[in-house]
């Protein structure tokens, strides 16, 4: 078989990743993001080979309302984490245009200092059509980074919304960034996100905004106490911080470490990881079935013929979907 241009062998990918080679790591992430069938098979082999070297990081999801300054926070917070002797990988999910399918991929520009740190690795990746602003291949990228020796992983998501619950399903700790002084803070975010957050950090708590930040902290603390205690026994905390003055960042990092220690002690940490692995399996089965369905040439032909009829109301969406799915599964016994 002829090797695709710019593609290494499985052994070359694995050896480079385990050696901490950033160029090979970047190329491996590009490989897992590829939609080509040949690349997907190669990527699966690489991921399977590096699996024994994964799972040794602390995975932190970071999201927030528009204008909260996620990239600025991550750069300052990330530098603090690195300065304490950690190796940090930032998987920054960049917004994708639903119209052009393009994305800005500007996170390395927004995190210029961190991107030049020898113990930090920043990888912007387009969100595409993935629900919740999480790239469909973010999990595999996270595993590759762990195998390359990064012991802290940040996953920065596109924005905030009900679908951001998907982020919670791939991290150990979920941090929600919020602004103060915007008025009706509790009305500006969906309840579901607050319920799944392990902590809320109120950003830009500097200058004239310090008092407003303290007031917002009290309001969020009061709101969080109305929610039942999490199954893992953790009561979400509210912190205030400034990415500019660096105030409060060390307190947030200490809290995250305390969370990890507590969850490891009560068994929730590994239980959560185990449940996530099963969920990833379920989601990937659905992804593969959907991909195979739309790739089948008979289905493609049927869509070309039937989509116009759906658009003009001649046929119902449900009947067309059922017809094509039944055709797709025609050779599978229906017991």
CATH of 54-265, one of 3.30.428.10, 3.30.390.10, 3.40.50.300, 3.40.1180.10: 3.40.50.300
The whole-angstrom separation of Cα 125 and Cα 140 is: 13
pTM of the model: 0.87
Report the sign of the C-alpha dihedral through residues 326, 329, 333, 335, in that order.
negative
Domain ranges of the chain: 1-53, 54-265, 278-328
pLDDT per position as a tens digit, 71-122:
899 999 999 999 999 999 999 876 543 333 433 444 555 678 898 899 999 9
Q: Comparing C-alpha atoms, which of 141, 87, 139 is closest to residue 114? A: 87
Answer yes or no: are the C-beta atoms of 120 and 150 closer than 8 Å.
no
The whole-angstrom separation of Cα 236 and Cα 106 is: 31
What is the predicted pLDDT for the residue at 323?
Answer: 93
pLDDT per position as a tens digit, 263-281:
999 999 999 999 999 988 8
- Cβ count near 113 (within 10 Å): 11
Measured CA to CA in angstroms, residue 20 lies from 77, 130, 150 at distances of: 23, 28, 9
pLDDT per position as a tens digit, 296-321:
999 999 999 999 999 999 999 999 99
What is the predicted pLDDT for the residue at 1?
Answer: 43
What is the predicted pLDDT for the residue at 2?
Answer: 44
Answer yes or no: are the C-beta atoms of 74 and 124 closer than 8 Å.
no
Give the E-state strand segments of 127-172 in sequence order.
152-156
- Low-confidence residues in the chain, pLDDT < 50: 1-3, 96-106, 129-133, 162-163, 183-185, 187-188
Answer yes or no: are the C-beta atoms of 45 and 10 closer than 8 Å.
yes
Was domain 1-53 assigned CATH 3.30.2090.10?
Answer: no
Beta strands at 173-178 and 152-156: parallel, antiparallel or unpaired: unpaired
| Consecutive H or E run containing 305 | helix 297-311
What is the predicted pLDDT for the residue at 187?
Answer: 46
What is the predicted pLDDT for the residue at 129?
Answer: 46
Contacts of 193 (CB under 8 A, 6+ apart): 63, 160, 161, 162, 164, 165, 176
What is the predicted pLDDT for the residue at 225?
Answer: 81
Q: What is the 3-state secondary structure (H, E, C) of 82-94?
A: HHCCCCEEEEEEE
Answer yes or no: are the C-beta atoms of 193 and 231 closer than 8 Å.
no
To the nearest 10 degrees (0 to 180), the angle between helices 268-295 and 249-265 is 90
């Amino acid at each position: 078989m002829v090797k695709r241009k710019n593609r290494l062998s499985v052994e070359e990918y694995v050896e480079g990743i385990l050696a901490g080679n950033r160029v090979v790591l970047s190329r491996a992430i590009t490989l897992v993001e590829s939609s080509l069938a040949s690349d997907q098979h190669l990527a699966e082999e690489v991921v399977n080979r590096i699996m024994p070297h994964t799972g040794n990081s602390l995975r932190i999801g970071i999201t927030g309302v528009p204008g909260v300054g996620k990239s600025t926070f991550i750069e300052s917070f990330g530098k603090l984490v690195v300065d304490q002797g950690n190796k940090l990988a930032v998987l920054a999910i960049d917004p994708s245009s639903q119209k052009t399918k393009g994305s800005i991929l500007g996170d390395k520009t927004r995190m210029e200092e961190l991107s030049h740190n020898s113990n930090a690795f920043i990888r912007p990746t387009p969100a595409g059509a993935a629900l919740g602003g999480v790239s469909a291949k973010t999990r595999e990228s996270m595993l590759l980074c762990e195998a390359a020796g990064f012991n802290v992983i940040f996953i920065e998501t596109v924005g905030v919304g009900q679908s951001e619950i998907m982020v919670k399903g791939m991290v150990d700790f979920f941090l929600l960034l919020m602004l103060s002084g915007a008025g009706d803070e509790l009305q500006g975010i969906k309840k579901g996100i607050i319920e799944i957050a392990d902590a809320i950090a109120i950003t830009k708590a500097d200058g004239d905004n310090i008092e407003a930040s303290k007031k917002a902290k009290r309001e969020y603390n009061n709101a969080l106490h109305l929610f039942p205690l999490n199954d893992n026994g953790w009561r979400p905390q509210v912190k205030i911080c400034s990415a500019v003055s660096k105030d409060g960042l060390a307190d947030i990092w200490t809290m995250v470490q305390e969370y990890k220690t507590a969850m490891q002690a009560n068994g929730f940490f590994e239980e959560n990881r185990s449940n996530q692995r099963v969920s990833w399996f379920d989601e990937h089965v659905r992804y593969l079935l959907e991909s195979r369905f739309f790739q089948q040439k008979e289905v493609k032909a049927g869509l070309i013929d039937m989509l116009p009829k759906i658009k003009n109301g001649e046929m119902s969406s449900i009947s067309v979907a059922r017809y094509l799915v039944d055709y797709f599964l025609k050779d599978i016994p229906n017991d």
